[in-house]
Structure 1
Amino acid sequence: MEKKVIIFTGSTDGIGLLVMNHLVKENCEQYKFILPVRNLEKGEALHKELKVINEKVDITLMEMDLSSFESIRNFVKNFNQLNLPHLDILVNNAGVMLPSFQKTKDGFESTIGINHLGTSLLTLLLLKNFKKVSDGANNCEDQCNIVILSSEFHQREQLNFDKLLLTENDSSSFDTLREYSKSKLCNLLFSNELHNRLNLCKTTKNNIRVNSLHPGYLKTPINRDLSWFTRNIIAPIFFFGYGSKTEDTINGIVNLIENNSNHSGKYFSISKETSPSSFASNPENSKLLWEKTCELLSLNPELDL
């Protein structure tokens, strides 16, 4: 059986590492893993760990920094040079939660710059790599899946599309949770609009599924840069009250990776399909976010597949 090619961002830490361990243990022979990593040394350590779980694991490590558009473009270029027949699955798991105002290498506020702009650029540049099927085909083996990790925190915010990103002039008003929540709302809106636009493309509408999910609340390294008080006092109280079971989070993501139910354009809270906020449910907002995103990325908003 031909292996499915899966690109999985954020695989070296936290939720991504948990899911990778599960996939390698349970479904290793089914996948060829392409792991974009910012730190190759850390990636090599992960590779060794996964080899211990299953020596047959098929992994290719490739350098990529989501805070740099140049790095993302280089990753896609290098991925194309692997000459793989197609891409089957993209899991956009990587993300940051930052304690203070920072800028990406392209000059954007880093939370939205990495979580949304970097993730969106990667996704859009890879679209042509997904398997194409003829109009009318509906073979389960031909289906491709894009999984975008959002968060329940998206419900806390709305977006001003004329001022999507903070500037240095706004740095004194930076709020960690607000910017993180905005970035997760962007992820959800982008997922919805990508689904809508792919559904209009004859070459893709039958086989590319796009879904977003809230993975639950687990204690992961995403909050490692926050203040001592937040990490050691606030976070433990929060996770005690709202924490998720690790196996539920893993299963929720794996279910969308495999997507045997053919869901697309949906939002899940762990494993349960649910309704996002009213702002996220408004198709006009997803369209506006798409257009603003493409403007910031200097990309044509019309899909050319």
Structure 2
Amino acid sequence: MNGFKLEEIPSQSGKIAIVTGANSGLGLETAEGLAKVGYKVIMAARNQEKAEEAQAKILKKNPNAMLDILLLDLNSLAAIKKFTENFLNKYDQLDLLVNNAGLMMPPYQKTKDGFESQIGINHLGHFLLTGLLIDTLNRFPGSRVVSLSSIAHKNGKINFEDFHSRKKYNAQGAYSQSKLACLMFAYELQRRLDKKDYKIVSVAAHPGVAMTNLMQYLPPFMVKVGKAIGPLLLQPPKMGAMPTLRAALDPSVKGGEYFGPSGFGEIKGAPERVHSSRRSLDREVANKLWELSEKETGIKFL
């Protein structure tokens, strides 16, 4: 697992990937990296204009990049189903699903289905998307699902008593819960894939602390400080995307692994395999979370 260079990855020409939230930040860098090695990338984004701007940025650097835009709003279960329908009407192949899109510490708000927005968008939306695409992925041995977590998962706990923060809302706590859920989903997905003998690899990644628009809801003074010290202490988006790209492309990756930066505190650095919290490895909680996620999204799979 020593060293990872995008330039050393063999051509992935003929393969198709979906990257959620591909219009900015980590998603844009991930889409660019996958296109660089030959993937056709479906840029799943909520805003057509922003997606087109992102597409133009990639094409300016790589005129041969194969990119397609399909609108996806993770804020709505109906919209996720519509995206999947549109994708499957257009394509009969999927080799890689990158569950990248996310929301970090906004004021309390609900999705269109009444979920607390962070658990709804970061976890439940991707849970449904993965379930709707799992059979297509399984037709292509070696396909992968990469789920984005965060070092914030270490402070997270799945609060089954108040899953949607209706009694009490703490933005940071809800974010940590959602990112713990994303990680536990990646682990539980691999266990269930193994039981069904599916040839799909489920892995997780986190970007460290990267300077992206995820920080838009932080207090203004924190944003100002972040911009001042960011270039020295934090990951630029391109490096923040490297753990995701390693999880997606490194041929030595095994199901159930977790990748993040190699530096102090996993804040920045080259991508390597990292360890997650003890809580994230609790299989009983993971199974309970899976069952709750099925109930909330209305889909049963594996």
TM (norm. structure 1) is 0.86
Deviation of the 1:298 alpha carbon: 1.7
Q: Which structure 2 residues correspond to residues 152-163 of structure 1 after superposition, within 5 A?
A: 152-163=151-162
Taking a change above 3 Å as real, the CA distance of residues 49 and 106 of structure 1, as seen in their structure-2 partners, is: same
1:230 to 222, 228, 248: 222
Deviations 1:102-124 (A, max 9, x none): 01011111011111111111111
Counterpart amino acid of residue 114 in structure 1:
I
Tell me which residue corresponds to 1:150: 149
Among 151, 175, 193, the alignment partner of 1:180 is: 175
Structure 2: 5+ residue stretches without partners: 1-11, 262-270
Give yes or no for the alignment of 1:220 onto 2:212: yes
What is aligned with 2:200? Answer: 208
**1:126 is matched with which residue?**
133
Contact 1:89/1:146 (CA < 8 Å) preserved in 2?
Answer: yes
Shift of 1:237: 7.4
Determine the C-alpha separation between the residues in 1 that align with 2:113 and 2:179. 20
Distance 1:95 1:247, change over 3 A: closer
Q: Distance in 1 between matches of 2:227 and 2:236?
A: 15
Select 2:234's aligned residue among 231, 240, 243. 243
Deviation at 1:245, TM superposition (A): 5.8
Q: Which residue of 1 aligns with 2:25?
A: 14
Distance in 1, matches of 2:75 and 2:137, equals 24
- Check 1:266–1:57 CA distance in 2 against 1; reply closer, same or farther (3 A cut): same
> Alignment partner for residue 111 of structure 1, among 105, 112, 118?
118
How far the C-alpha of 1:238 sits from its partner, in A, is 7.5
Question: Which amino acid in 2 is paired with 1:216?
Answer: G
Match of 1:72 among 77, 80, 100: 80
Contact 1:99 1:227 in 2 (8 A): no
8 Å CA contact retained: 2:244, 2:259: no
189-198 vs 256-265, which moves further: 256-265
Partner of 1:90 in structure 2?
97
* Native 8 Å contact 2:21 2:46 kept in 1: no
Q: Hey, what's the Cα distance between the residues in 1 that align with 2:275 and 2:157? A: 16
Determine if contact 2:207/2:242 at 8 Å carries over to the other structure.
no
Aligned to 1:164: 163
Is 1:255 aligned with 2:246? Answer: yes
Moved more, 101-110 or 122-131: 122-131
Residue 191 of structure 1 aligns to which amino acid in structure 2? A
- Structure 2 distance, partners of 1:118, 1:217, is 23
Q: Post-superposition shift, 1:248? A: 4.1
Quote how far apart the aligned CAs of 1:17 are: 1.6
Give 1:291's aligned residue: 291
Would the aligned equivalents of 1:145 and 1:210 in 2 still touch at CA under 8 Å?
A: yes
* Contact preservation (8 Å) 2:29, 2:238: no
Counterpart position of 2:6: none
Q: How far, CA to CA, are the matches of 1:217 and 1:98 in structure 2? A: 14
Q: 1:241 to 1:67 in 2, by over 3 A?
A: same
Q: Give CA-to-partner distance per residue, 1:231-257, whole Å, 9 cap, x none.
A: 223x45785785236554333221111
Amino acid in structure 2 at the alignment position of 1:244 = Q
Deviations 1:104-150 (A, max 9, x none): 011111011111111111111110111436xxxxxxxx311111110
2:243 counterpart SS class? helix
The two structures have a TM-score, normalised by structure 2, of 0.87
Aligned pair partner of 1:194 in 189, 192, 210: 189
Residue from 15, 31, 34 that aligns with 1:23: 34
Deviation by residue 1:273-299 (Cα, 9 ceiling, x = unmatched) = 222111111111111111111111122
Q: Which runs of no fewer than 5 residues in structure 1 stay unpaired?
A: 134-141
Amino acid at match of 2:30: V
Q: Deviation at 1:263?
A: 1.1
3-state secondary structure, aligned to 1:269: strand
Q: How many residue pairs end up in the alignment?
A: 282
State whether residues 14 and 221 of structure 1, in contact with CA within 8 Å, keep that contact through their aligned partners in structure 2.
Answer: yes
